[in-house]
Amino acid sequence: MNVSENYRNAWESYWSETSDAPGEAIWDADPSLTSQPHSELFLPYADTSRTIVDLGCGNGTQTRYLATRFAKAVGVDLTHAAVEHARRAANGTGVEFQQLDLTDIDAVRALHTRLGDSHVYMRAVIHQSEPGARSRVAAAVAEIVGTEGRAFVVELTSGSREVLQRAAADPGGPGPKLRRVFHHGLKPADASDDEIPALLGEAGLTVLASGDTALAQTENLADGTRIDLPARWFVLAGK
């Protein structure tokens, strides 16, 4: 199953209505809270002379950091609007961005053919994908890593739903950044805890390491506490 037009349009409209200001997207946390600690977990398993592909790169904040740790970084996203944000923010630094639907296996294979076996960084993509498309997203990871690449995948756990429900129940309702997520019909933490590792295994990926973490958000609860969403990370090898 490819992504539906409703899903594609929801993300396109979200990014079209998002400014270039750092942190306006609720998940656009500083790399010191995300891709930097993730890289420390990943680097023992990854050859830094290879390209790393940031799947679901959004406005490219994490991609730009990854470019400082690997020989080359390529960010891909479903939406044209997100890719345009990322290209503007890159400002000619040499980080590459392109629009790519991860459920389009021909397009994913073409990317693999161009880059060769590459590493993958994927942060919170499967959990918000449409149920019928999730297996193709996992298959895209396997296609890109091939036999020599490695993947770092981090996905929200069911505990995130409780945090989001608490945020929505704050006096005055959810904050403006979370409200925009709901307004555009996006569905965070929609996959079950068992579904993520099952999909990765069915795609032919082997778990080399895993652990619990939290994904820092750029919005706070009413009491001033930063919203941190419980998550689980996986380091994966291909077939």
DSSP state string for 153-216? EEEE-THHHHHHHHHHTSTTSS-HHHHHHHHTT--TT-S-TTHHHHHHHHTT-EEEEEEEEEEE
Q: Which residue has the tokens 């639907």?
A: 101
Average of per-residue pLDDT across 51-78: 97
The reported pTM is: 0.96
Q: Is the pLDDT of residue 64 over 70?
A: yes
pLDDT band of residue 213 (cuts 50, 70, 90) is very high
Lowest mean pLDDT among 48-52, 55-59, 115-119, 183-187: 183-187
Q: What are the beta bridge partners of residue 51?
A: 72
Say how far apart CA 203 and CA 110 lie, in whole Å: 18
Q: What is the pLDDT of residues 173-182, one digit of tens each?
A: 889 999 999 8
What percent of the chain has pLDDT above 70?
A: 100
Tell me which residue of 54, 125, 124 sits closest to 95, measured CA to CA: 54
Two tokens, residue 223 = 């009491």
Say if CB 141 and CB 117 are below 8 A apart: no
pLDDT at 1: 62
pLDDT band of residue 218 (cuts 50, 70, 90) is very high
Specify the CATH superfamily of domain 5-237. Vaccinia Virus protein VP39 (3.40.50.150)
Tell me which residue of 131, 139, 155 sits closest to 210, measured CA to CA: 155
Domain ranges across the chain: 5-237
pLDDT at 190: 79
pLDDT at 129: 93
Tell me which residue of 229, 194, 202, 236 sits closest to 215, measured CA to CA: 229
Q: What is the pLDDT of residues 93-110, one digit of tens each?
A: 889 999 999 999 999 999
Q: What is the pLDDT of residues 137-193, one digit of tens each?
A: 999 999 999 999 999 999 999 999 999 988 888 888 889 999 999 889 888 777 889
pLDDT at 171: 83
Q: Is the pLDDT of residue 206 over 90?
A: yes
Q: Which residue has the tokens 């960010």?
A: 75
Average of per-residue pLDDT across 192-201: 95
- N-terminal to C-terminal alpha carbon distance within the chain: 23
